[in-house]
Amino acid sequence: MLKIATWNVNSLRIRLPQVLDWAKKFKPDILALQETKVTDDKFPLEAIQAAGYHAAFSGEKAYNGVALLSRLQASDIITDLPEEPQRRFLGATYANNLRVLNVYVPNGTAADSEKYHFKLNWLKKLQDYARDSLKDYPRLIVLGDFNIASEDRDVHDAWDSDLLVSPPERAALEDLVNLGLRDTFRLFKQAPKSFSWWDHRGGAFWRNRGARIDLILASTALNCTACVIDKAPRRLKRPSDHAPVMASFKTTR
DNA sequence: ATGGTAGTTTGACTA
């Protein structure tokens, strides 16, 4: 069995103890992190290696930043989408030609804002990249913080903004999935009001005012056997605003 | 009520 997880940690340096504790408990083979908020020269590689993980990472100062922790060494590491300086994308290949694309999709700030259009443009680049990737890698996983809630059940009832739920955002995600991917969380029976992110403000977590925006998309060639959100780290002191999501896959032999 | 909290580039930005 292969376990692959994603977690927007909102600063890896602050969250490192929580990340290492979580990895020790759940033993993911691959853990994709977003919003590491650390430049590559300050990436906490030694502590991660001491915990038994390799790491590929692409960071910048203060914002964004992505990393892939893995039990086995990665190959063919790619850190760039075309003409995209922000560190939001990381591709790597693992055993059996499994290709993993870790993404931190732009938030968008407000529908129809400049950042919103940047988000849609970024998603178009991702779609183009994923389409090409599927040609070379039938076994493809695209995971991370998508900053989009696919359906109305993926956002709490009091959500009063267009952001995360606007038709163009949802269409962009649907187009990506329709390349030949599946939202692994929805392959299984799940509790109602299952979310992966809750705003730090207004006690959103304790009122379960969240959204499910952290996704593990897997190509149909992969045999997914489970996908769960672990809310426990969100209850810790000084939590990330996101919870980790983990999917299990049957290993081919 | 344009609030509230958290993180990073100390203070304005991003989320």
State residue A235's pLDDT score.
97
Taking the C1' atom of every nucleotide in all shown strands and the CA of A204, the nearest one is B4
Residue A22 has pLDDT above 70, yes or no: yes
pLDDT tens track for A120-165: 999 999 999 999 999 999 999 999 999 999 999 999 999 999 999 9
Judging by beta carbons within 10 Å of its beta carbon (0-12, 13-18, 19+), is residue A66 exposed, middle or buried? buried
- Residue A235 Cβ under 7 A from any strand B atom: no
* pLDDT score, position A72: 97
Q: At residue A85, does pLDDT exceed 90? A: yes
Separation of alpha carbons A224 and A252, rounded Å: 12
Query: Which pLDDT value is given to residue A252?
Result: 73
Q: Residue A41: which residues within 8 A CB-CB, separation 6 or more?
A: none
| pTM over 0.85, yes/no | yes
Residue A154 confidence (pLDDT):
98
Mean pLDDT of A12-32: 98
Strand B, nucleotides < 7 Å from a protein CB: these are 4-9, 14-15
**Sheet with strand A181-183: strands edge to edge:** A75-78, A89-94, A98-104, A140-145, A214-219, A181-183
Percent of chain A whose pLDDT exceeds 90: 98
User: Would you say A80 and A46 are in contact if contact means Cβ atoms under 8 Å apart?
Assistant: no
Superfamily of domain A2-250: Endonuclease/exonuclease/phosphatase (3.60.10.10)
Nucleic strand B within 7 A of Cβ A11? yes
Half-sphere exposure of residue A55: CA atoms within 13 angstroms, side-chain side:
21
Give residue-wise pLDDT tens across range A91-107. Answer: 999 999 999 999 999 99
Q: Are A196 and A216 in contact (CB under 8 A)?
A: no
Nucleotide nearest to A104 (CA to C1'): B15
Give the HSE-up count for residue A137: Cα atoms under 13 Å, Cβ half-sphere. Answer: 25
Q: How far is the CA of A11 from the C1' of B13 (A)?
A: 15
Q: Do A169 and A109 meet the contact criterion of CB atoms below 8 Å apart?
A: no
CA of A87 to C1' of B10 (A): 24
Q: A48-72: per-residue pLDDT in tens?
A: 999 999 999 999 999 999 999 999 9
pLDDT exceeds 70 at position A253: no
What distance in Å separates the CA atoms of residue A14 and residue A191, rounded to the nearest whole number?
30
Q: Where are the domains of chain A?
A: 2-250
Measure the CA–CA gap between A33 and A92, rounded to whole angstroms. 13
Residues A74 and A91: their CA atoms lie apart, in Å, by: 9
